[in-house]
Amino acid sequence: MRTIAVVIEYDGTDFAGFQVQRGKRTVQAELCRAVQKVTKQSVPVIGASRTDAGAHATGQVVHFRTLCRIPVERVPAALNSVLPRDIAARYAWEADETFHARYSARSRVYRYTIWNHPVRSALMERYAYRVSQPLDVEAMQQAVRYLVGKHDFAAFASEVGRYRNTVREVYSAQLQARLPLVWLRIEANGFLQGMVRAIMGTLIEIGLGKRAPETVEQLLQSGVRGDAGFNVPAHGLCLVRVNYDESTILRSEQQAGKGL
């Protein structure tokens, strides 16, 4: 059996999320169908992250195991020939049998984008959440600094009860602006469901002057979801990168000709 890892890009607008759901269109279901057509085998396709309904990805990683002998460099083109237009395989590499797209991941990087303008954009409507009032970007940047480090993010989780442990480590978090675009880029060893969206909702309230930047530190200590900001819509969220250990990175570079 071979283990094939593939970097996937998708527009999540018309999907009910990544994970298979009965009676609903999902990214994982479409990938399973495509892999079956290409390999002539019905095999599970495992993703690194279960993105929300409406969320996008430019760097989702999936893997599947197969007996098919198709050369790994031809896998993306083969998949793209049968995938729908809103999913694309970017590149692939052959991993060893211990590789797992989800459990081998060292960190994940998400980006949330805001269109900060009173007038909507036809091009950005699907990929950015519009905030019509001016945002205090400097205050939001001050607040973001409290996120870095190992904290209990229960106050930013949609369903705390589903987790045994709500502690996560944020390796980096930056809020940048090139108005009218404002975006948060955050890397962590893992994310709770709704975590980035609740963080962004809180930051928007800070940017609108409804909260002080220190609110973020207080929320990390309180752990009460009701005290945090609203959940912004998923369409501004994008999984941009999944990081693995150095040996996996090197292998992917050798076989795909680019870094992960």
The residues carrying an active-site annotation are: 52
Token pair belonging to 114: 């805001």
HEC string of 12-67? HHHCCCCCCCCCCCCHHHHHHHHHHHHHCCCCCCEECCCCCCCCEEEEEEEEEEEC
State the DSSP code for 78: H
Nearest of 83, 89, 45 to residue 65 by alpha carbon: 45
Question: Which residues is 127 bridged to in the sheet?
Answer: none
Question: Which residues is 95 bridged to in the sheet?
Answer: 3
Quick one: 43 exposed, middle or buried, by C-beta within 10 A (0-12, 13-18, 19+)?
Answer: middle
Strands 107-116 and 2-10: unpaired
Residue showing tokens 């019509």: 132
Distance CA 137, CA 140 (A): 5
